Amino acid sequence: MGMNKNTVLGWATLIMVIMGLILIGLGVYKYADVAGWGFSAVGVGFLANAWVFNALKGRV
């Protein structure tokens, strides 16, 4: 059984949510200086992209 478009978008959403949370965690806990703001901003961007991918499931 192969993966269809919705399955690929589901996996991409899951991976992007995990990476976004990891980046936000790195920005908060490991890099608490100026670099942490960048890590956290990129993590929020990953979560926004994951939200878009989740909204596209079933419409593609």
pLDDT at 4 (0 to 100): 86
Of 13, 1, 22, 27, give the one whose Cα is nearest residue 60: 13
Residues 3-53: tens digit of each pLDDT: 888 888 889 899 999 999 999 999 988 888 888 899 899 999 999 999 998
| CA 38 – CA 47 distance, rounded (Å) | 14
State the pTM of this model: 0.83
Can you give the pLDDT at residue 20? 94
Which tokens is 37 given?
């703001």
Q: What is the pLDDT of residue 33?
A: 84
Which residues, 6+ apart, have CB-to-CB distance to 45 below 8 Å? 20
